[in-house]
């Protein structure tokens, strides 16, 4: 089993920045992909960003490309999401996800999910 814990959410004004962190624990040796997703009120879950275990490539959803940056933290099984130039449309619950199968990276089929952290962007 893998446990994921997100942190760093909060309230920010439009144009501001926030940094989310996700720390994995448990059977982390099986993790080969980690990603961020979000769900806004009344909307479907949306892919935000992902990277493989070695962190040598990153992938982003179209709505955040150029504004958000996913990266591996010093701890091998922790990832961060730096969110810049935030917009009210970025308001959502943000979820960290992990999986042992790297091909899962671009899907919603991740095995492990965190509880989520709320990000609210005021206009």
Q: What is the pLDDT of residues 10-32, one digit of tens each?
A: 999 999 999 999 999 998 888 99
CA 60 to chain centre: 10
Host H or E run for residue 25? strand 18-26
Phi, psi of 104 (to 5 degrees): -75, -15
Q: Which parts of the chain have pLDDT scores under 50?
A: none
């Amino acid at each position: 089993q893998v446990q994921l814990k997100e942190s760093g959410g909060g309230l920010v004004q439009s144009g501001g920045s926030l940094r989310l962190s996700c720390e994995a624990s448990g059977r982390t040796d099986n993790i080969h992909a980690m990603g961020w997703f979000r769900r806004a009120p009344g909307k479907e879950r949306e892919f935000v960003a992902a990277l493989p275990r070695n962190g040598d490539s990153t992938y982003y959803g179209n709505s955040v490309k150029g504004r958000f940056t996913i990266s591996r933290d010093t701890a091998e099984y922790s990832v961060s999401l730096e969110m810049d130039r935030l917009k009210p449309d970025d308001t959502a619950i943000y979820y960290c996800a992990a999986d042992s199968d790297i091909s899962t990276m671009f899907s919603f089929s991740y095995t492990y999910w965190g509880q989520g952290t709320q990000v609210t962007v005021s206009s």
